Structure 1
């Protein structure tokens, strides 16, 4: 038994709490609580959960977890996140992003606008060609039929002014239809415009950094699948914690980070955890089956009005 485990056990027993009582308070399985007291961390589902379970145990028996972590840090295994370079565990500021990456991101809006313009010109040209091809055979057939009727009846052709008037009337309807088609096309373009831009800045191992732009809000919905569970740690670049706890069996949480510029998500079990940014599903940079624990950093640049 480790010194940390001995201290936790003595504190629990001094408060007349059994392991079953502690399991009911912390929602941690009894075998994990025994593992903490005996210092047998191999029974844990992963190193990431060791600090989380010790923290919950300490709080349940009214001990300060941060003081315990500092006093017994030699006994507590480090997590993968702590072994990452400091620049990957914290949100990088705009000045830390490489100049090459910044230039590419600055070109994205220009490329999108150019694509919309080219698409609009192509649509207009296609509609014009379709209208011209559709009208030419009708005009040719009309002229041929009128000429044949004049030859058979030997009648004087009707006044050209009347023919021109009719032709003018026939030509107006297709123009209105064309305008309606163009209006619908423009509306479709507006509907298809993305609500925001989320671009990958860099990734290393199980950690990835994204940049959220072209929106004035930043909300995240976190949900756990039925029967699943995960450890979730959310904080900003200053270390301020928004959430540090377990989520289980269909539980959902909604966060509004509109006033934050940098947010870090440490997801203990991505197989059971879904994220949605501004209502749109987020796809993990690595398939959850290949990397269960992942760290996601999002840099938020709100739209300037």
Structure 2
């Protein structure tokens, strides 16, 4: 098959995506029908034919996709002049997973637990060093304050017993009031920090934006709010595979999804990312899709 130019690939992907959305189908539905791995379907929709396993698959995959969304596959292939060289498929790395989907190559290296632990070690050491420095400063300040108080006591003039008692009582009451105020302020600050959501930096790779260190409140469910200015299909899946939401959000509608306190992260698949706004609690989650319609978001939580 001769290599398609970028404009034609984009046109093919857009027409297939529009046909899928008109039928209210998700990429998971197309995968179930065609047995083509979902990331290849996403590559076709994005016009990224160079992400397919090889030239043999371009015509075959487009034909299967067109059939799955109710298009006349033969006419679609002919209209877009999709041709395939007489080559055999590269099945050297092909395998069939438990979900009965055939996958050819494009395996991703998954970092091991040891690698992740190693990458966290510098942060742990820096945190421990900061805590140690704060402890030393606090000890020096406390020691200086104690020495100053002792010097002031030794230089005080003699006063009557009743005056000393009155001064001690006043000092004790003032100190107690200060301690109560400080304790209350500390508790309020801890409570505010506990409920604060921090997104951290994002990283865009291909058609996915990743937030790898989102800080969420501990032992507490978190609301994710979706707002659409036009119709948009989306699916939100927990890292353990549970589907939290799957459907088409109508224009002007809001959808609130509860993120369980035990969740370590979610993955979003979005069919019309340009019209979708996402919030975690009160924090806006920027999708950084730069105009791309079909988009993914990978949100990983720290608790």
Q: TM-score, normalised by structure 1?
A: 0.49
Greater relative contact order (Cα < 8 A, sep 6+):
1
Q: Higher helix fraction: Structure 1 or Structure 2?
A: 1
Q: TM-score, normalised by structure 2?
A: 0.50
* Higher gyration radius (CA): 1
